[in-house]
Structure 1
Amino acid sequence: MRKHFFNFTWSLMCMPVSLFAQTAATPYTAKANQTVQETLNFANRQDFEDARRGFIVTSDTPNIFMANGKTSYPLKDWEFLQNDSPATANPSLWRQSQLNSIHGLFEVIPGKVYQIRGFDLANMSFVRTDSGWIVIDVLTVEESAKAGYDLIKKHVGNFPIRAVILTHPHSDHYGGLQAIRQGAPNKDFEIIAPKGFLKAAQNENIMAGPAMARRATYMYGLQLTPDAQGFIGTGLGQTLAKGKKTLPHPTDEISQTGETRTIDGLQMEFVSAPESEAPVEIMIYFPQLKAFCTAEDMTHTMHNLLTLRGAKVRNGLLWSKYIDQVITRYGAHTDVVFSSHHWPMWGNKRILPYLEAQRDLYRYLHDQTLHLANQGYTPEEIAEAVKLPTSLDSLFHCRGYYGTVSHNVKSQYQMYFGWFDGNPAHLNPLPPTELGKKYVEALGGAAHVMEMAEKGYRAGEYRWVATLLDHLVFAEPENRAARKLLADTYMQLGYQAESGPWRNFYLTGAKDLTRNEKPYTPVLTNYQTISQMDTETLFDFCAIQINKNKAEGKEVVLNLHFSDTGEDASLILKNSVLNHRLNRHEKDAPLDLTLSKKDFVSLFFGATNLKELCQDQKASANGCKETIDILTSCVETAHPNFNIVIP
């Protein structure tokens, strides 16, 4: 059986461990953070008033726990944020984390709308119908969703669940569904989602899941300890909960703006916003309440137009136009806005400027990128040149706590022009290790590179030092002095970062540079989740597991019948490519195989073999049984521990 397995569930990949020997903030970092303190209006406490408004109760335990006693989500770990911002943190990000760490059950509209906040990365919202609840988004895992649901049942009311609305296919909004189903007085309810929800969830979280999960450990600080020199949050929320997840199957899909539903007396009108914060996304207006749920398209941060964990590029122009649609259709009739992250806002006079600024933020990033690209600027030059106008930059909800101007404008360039900036020197560069060796040689050897790096570090030129030492580390990965200085450099860049993901990337990179052990232990593939994929996507997923060298010269044809779903298909391995044909069997295939979809997944990924399945009467095979062995011998599953900051 193969030795490497992966798990694309981000929150289960590792547990926080103690941070390595920490580096203090240098005078340059302290000065940079003090400049932020003096630039922004920290005396404005309106967000804190909004974040605490309507508080009812919170958990009476220090953490939310899993069944095995381990922590699903920490609640008390953020108490250090009550202190003043230290030199080792950007004070603007520190402020955002203070707000995000406020947790519990909140009343948004008396008797009508409630939210669970601070129990997970996202929020879970409850809207009263005539006799029950509509739940909007259900958190990442069952444990955090259950903890929140238990609070509202105890302190507000245990009413029937009439519907669950999933605003978009990111797992922090749908993974906890089973807790709602298990805890609801009625087990059957509508699951409303944007059209294409399931396909998008599979493509974003599964097809690219292993690499995305590895990068997510950096982005979400999953290897960092919460403290003033380590993990202080993500900007969008504090952290992801750990535990059991469900992949929901919607019963009702929203395909266009203006669609309405009335459920148990509650009227809803939907705004469809594909290619904004997610491939498919919906926002909701409640005319009886004069309330608008923005999903994740308007929050209290500049969002990502390309998330650093990896995803498809998001369209800033479309995003902006969707917000303007909201303004023109509902702006004059909205007294409350609430979102799937952060805290609500009340009062039409405050809401309209907020929506307009969020609209203009994403259009500005899009338009200025193209404006400069059409003058010949490259992505790096655009990222350096674009700054927000003061009218936006001075607003806390437009600050780059999650996305940044820098990587967002690069994403818009990528959306139009791809990765190539037009310079022939960048068309086919050397790979990092070979390039690093050439740079070190050209600069006079490792000792001279270290001398230059130390001089740059003493001068506070951390971006330059990071570039310089990155080449040296890739040229000489065992150079401990280079790795230590690069780690110190990343620490300073992390301390200065206003973006939670940037801070987490820098600090996690520093951690990986200075330790000898693996960051975490590989865990088994989630066969249950994979088997829930639609069959087309499942076979596409299987195809990307083929190792080209192992498959070289091999040809396989086999027919499949899934006994549980009734589906037929054929698999064809040729030219180191695995193709499939649904609803078709090949006449001359040497093997016809009948088994369940889940058992096929276990067979393909090496958790079992055909002999065992046939002995247990879980499969029947007609023809050459070695055919499946040839196919599975070509499989190489993803490795969860691939290196990022070293070769």
Structure 2
Amino acid sequence: MICISTSVTAFEPEKVEVNPELENFTAQFLPPQVLNVTDGVYVARGYNRDNPVLIEGKDGLIIVDPGESLQAAEVVKEAYNKQLNNIFDRKPVKAVIYTHHHDCHIHGASVFADNDTEIIAHDLLDDTLYYDWYGQLFPSRAEGGMMMLGGLYGNDSDWYAGGALFYKQIRGPSGYMPPTITVNDTLETNIAGVDFNIFSAPGETRDVLVIWLPEKKTLVQIANCYEAFPAITTMRGAVMRNPLDYIDSIDLYRSFDAEYMVSLHGPNPVVVGKDNISHTLTSYRDAIQFIHDQTVQNMNKGMTPGEIIEVVKLPPHLANDPYLQEYYGSVERDIYEIFWWYRGYYTGKSRDMYPQSPTEEAEMAAELAGGVDELTAKAGNALDEGNLEWALVLADDVLLLDPDNSEAREIKNSTMIALAENTKNVQERNYLLSEYLVETGQAAYPASGKPKLAFANMEDKAVTYMPMDTLFRIMAVSLDASRSLDKEITVGLQLTDMKNTESSDYALYVRKGIVEIQPEVPEDADFTITTSSMVWKNLVLGKLDPQKAVSDGKVKISGADSKAFYEFMALFNE
């Protein structure tokens, strides 16, 4: 969940047009609706970032993916109650099912669930949640998510054109509840009189679950098939995804011969009829396989990803499929992702063996153009001729060398606006407009370049359930290397509330620019910290001031005075 608050400077945005194809696609989300899929199965489309599903049983209800926040879930609950005669007053929620860990699918749980409600998820959900999101890369993930989703200008701005997989965003505090039942491979169960077959279906994430209701011939799916071309990895950044997992999981979906398919994202979440569902799923998996296989085939010919995108295009029967339009993912970007999945960044060409910094590339471009002024002129010519991608790169090169160059700034700004207006890809549009707003001072992501601030603003609910291994990874990447290169410090850590769960005693070794943490009591500690796990989490994340923690009696230091503790904690300020 992107839980860092935004402080956006008020501005009067100039008109930014929306690509007509994207505009028409986004309009399909409106008005929000509760749709009746089949007997006892409903989906709420357009109310928040996912499409929460309600399944009615004889003596209870089941919610699949409760939404992105407490507020978002309340909106959905109200819509269901209005449509279904106050159904939540008439029947209890027996289970909430998380299909995967992405924030828009898990943070509304407590609106629907109580202490008697089972929370069902993949057994990898917690690991994936704290590795891919609430972990050492949280500042980068949160900022990338804000940029990708248009969070700097928000739903109500004239600039906003939806998120392709959703229309509305309703941010707020988390109501996440940890799983009580986990699924490794399959789970067959009956909840409230409804038979459920739940399967692991990795693809977009490792922790995807797909739900098959055999009596209702209904498939509830997410993460591997959307109403838009897939993003093998999103532009916000994510753990690399195995493209073949998508294909295998969609083949699992096909095997059910479903008569109804419900998607937890997208403007048209219900597909009815075996033939329609089979066609949709077959085309989707064929498109992924085509791009994958042709990329690998050309890799085997010695081609680089840049060369491959020139020759690999979807065949017409797939390129024209309504489920495969590039509103979200991109064929070209997926080719790069597939290439990197198999061999990393290096293409095998000598010219690509020597990575250049952006400034070095800009200096080379200026040298070839005949100087910064000439490079600026070429950027302007590219813009005038409609070569927008070139204009963006060349203008940005000038600004790297001459940040106050007003002509290059105007060219870059005009280019980003034009690219945003032309693209039907939401990720591209939102990134372009977000960078424009940030660079022109019209909006700001408050934690940009300030990872300590990002960690300090992490959702409290996420901190509560954070494993210690995740916290220690955050600690490791927060160490100020320049201030610790001459340090060799050994610190004991005793967590008073962890005696019966995880390890309670640790050794923290700061050693010339790195921190190593071992589950042991060091015999030669310079001093020892004694506190609770939550206090320690809040100290490491910057939510709690070390001096206040000591003065309030939440932290006790033995073997040295408090000053040694403060100096130690001051090393972790990146």
1:536 correspondence with 2:488: no
Between 568-577 and 302-311, the greater mean CA deviation after superposition: 568-577
Structure 1 partner of 2:206: 279
- 1:176-255 equivalent positions in 2, closer than 5 A: 176-181=108-113, 186-207=114-135, 208-224=137-153, 230-255=159-184
Deviation at 1:621, TM superposition (A): 2.2
Q: Distance in 2 between matches of 1:486 and 1:573?
A: 44
Structure 1 partner of 2:491: 558
Deviation at 1:378, TM superposition (A): 1.1
Contact 1:301 1:401 in 2 (8 A): yes
Q: Distance in 2 between matches of 1:228 and 1:392?
A: 34
> Structure 1 residues 612, 450: CA separation in 2 closer, same or farther (over 3 Å shift)?
closer
Q: Distance in 2 between matches of 1:620 and 1:255?
A: 42
Structure 1 partner of 2:348: 422
Q: Distance in 1 between matches of 2:493 and 2:46?
A: 46
Contact 1:469 1:482 in 2 (8 A): yes
Q: Distance in 2 between matches of 1:453 and 1:608?
A: 48
> Structure 1 residues 598, 11: CA separation in 2 closer, same or farther (over 3 Å shift)?
closer
Choose which of 53, 66, 69 in structure 2 pairs with 1:138.
66
Contact 2:10 2:442 in 1 (8 A): no
Deviation at 1:166, TM superposition (A): 0.3
> Structure 1 residues 297, 448: CA separation in 2 closer, same or farther (over 3 Å shift)?
same
Structure 1 partner of 2:450: none
- 1:489-500 equivalent positions in 2, closer than 5 A: 489-500=415-426
Structure 1 partner of 2:106: 174
Structure 1 partner of 2:245: 318
Deviation string 1:85-134 (CA, Å, 9 cap, x unpaired) is xxx33222122211134313222224x01122212111111111221111
Choose which of 245, 256, 263 in structure 2 pairs with 1:339.
263
> Structure 1 residues 215, 443: CA separation in 2 closer, same or farther (over 3 Å shift)?
same
Q: Distance in 2 between matches of 1:590 and 1:462?
A: 59
Deviation at 1:627, TM superposition (A): 3.8
Deviation string 1:150-169 (CA, Å, 9 cap, x unpaired) is 33234421211111110001
Secondary structure, counterpart of 1:234 in structure 2: coil
Contact 1:313 1:412 in 2 (8 A): no
RMSD: 2.2
Contact 1:177 1:246 in 2 (8 A): yes
Deviation at 1:296, TM superposition (A): 2.3
- 1:20-59 equivalent positions in 2, closer than 5 A: 20-22=13-15
> Structure 1 residues 272, 510: CA separation in 2 closer, same or farther (over 3 Å shift)?
same
Structure 2 partner of 1:377: 303
Choose which of 17, 33, 55 in structure 2 pairs with 1:104.
33
> Structure 1 residues 226, 141: CA separation in 2 closer, same or farther (over 3 Å shift)?
closer
> Structure 1 residues 10, 461: CA separation in 2 closer, same or farther (over 3 Å shift)?
farther
> Structure 1 residues 226, 525: CA separation in 2 closer, same or farther (over 3 Å shift)?
closer
Structure 2 partner of 1:53: none
Letter in 2 for 1:568: D
Choose which of 460, 472, 478 in structure 2 pairs with 1:545.
478
> Structure 1 residues 591, 436: CA separation in 2 closer, same or farther (over 3 Å shift)?
same
Structure 2 partner of 1:570: 507
- 1:285-296 equivalent positions in 2, closer than 5 A: 285-296=212-223
- 1:147-162 equivalent positions in 2, closer than 5 A: 147-156=75-84, 157-158=87-88, 159-162=91-94
Letter in 1 for 2:345: W
- 1:248-267 equivalent positions in 2, closer than 5 A: 248-256=177-185, 258-267=186-195
Secondary structure, counterpart of 1:259 in structure 2: strand
Letter in 1 for 2:213: F
Choose which of 244, 262, 279 in structure 2 pairs with 1:353.
279
1:634 correspondence with 2:571: yes
Contact 1:223 1:508 in 2 (8 A): yes
Structure 2 partner of 1:164: 96
1:591 correspondence with 2:523: no
Deviation string 1:272-312 (CA, Å, 9 cap, x unpaired) is 122x1112211010001110011222221112101000001
Deviation at 1:460, TM superposition (A): 0.9
Contact 1:142 1:178 in 2 (8 A): yes
Deviation at 1:199, TM superposition (A): 1.0
1:366 correspondence with 2:292: yes
Q: Distance in 1 between matches of 2:251 and 2:459?
A: 43
> Structure 1 residues 385, 354: CA separation in 2 closer, same or farther (over 3 Å shift)?
same
Secondary structure, counterpart of 1:100 in structure 2: coil
- 1:382-397 equivalent positions in 2, closer than 5 A: 382-397=308-323
Identity percentage of aligned residues: 23
Contact 1:614 1:620 in 2 (8 A): yes
Q: Distance in 2 between matches of 1:168 and 1:229?
A: 32
Structure 1 partner of 2:382: 456
Contact 1:19 1:511 in 2 (8 A): no
Q: Distance in 1 between matches of 2:28 and 2:491?
A: 56
Q: Distance in 1 between matches of 2:459 and 2:316?
A: 50
Between 300-309 and 145-154, the greater mean CA deviation after superposition: 145-154
Letter in 1 for 2:535: D
Deviation at 1:503, TM superposition (A): 1.3
Secondary structure, counterpart of 1:121 in structure 2: coil
Q: Distance in 2 between matches of 1:377 and 1:369?
A: 9
Contact 2:174 2:459 in 1 (8 A): no
Letter in 2 for 1:9: I
Q: Distance in 2 between matches of 1:541 and 1:198?
A: 16
Letter in 2 for 1:286: L
Deviation at 1:11, TM superposition (A): 6.9
Q: Distance in 2 between matches of 1:141 and 1:470?
A: 37
Q: Distance in 2 between matches of 1:493 and 1:324?
A: 37
Secondary structure, counterpart of 1:192 in structure 2: strand
TM-score between the two structures when normalised by the length of structure 2:
0.91
> Structure 1 residues 603, 259: CA separation in 2 closer, same or farther (over 3 Å shift)?
closer
Deviation at 1:518, TM superposition (A): 5.5
Deviation at 1:17, TM superposition (A): 5.2
> Structure 1 residues 220, 444: CA separation in 2 closer, same or farther (over 3 Å shift)?
same
Unaligned runs of 5+ in 2: 448-452
> Structure 1 residues 388, 511: CA separation in 2 closer, same or farther (over 3 Å shift)?
same
Contact 1:283 1:295 in 2 (8 A): yes
Letter in 1 for 2:265: H
Choose which of 219, 224, 231 in structure 2 pairs with 1:304.
231
Structure 2 partner of 1:52: none
Deviation at 1:225, TM superposition (A): 5.8
Q: Distance in 2 between matches of 1:241 and 1:279?
A: 26
Q: Distance in 2 between matches of 1:411 and 1:365?
A: 11
Letter in 2 for 1:384: E
Letter in 2 for 1:575: K
Letter in 1 for 2:259: D
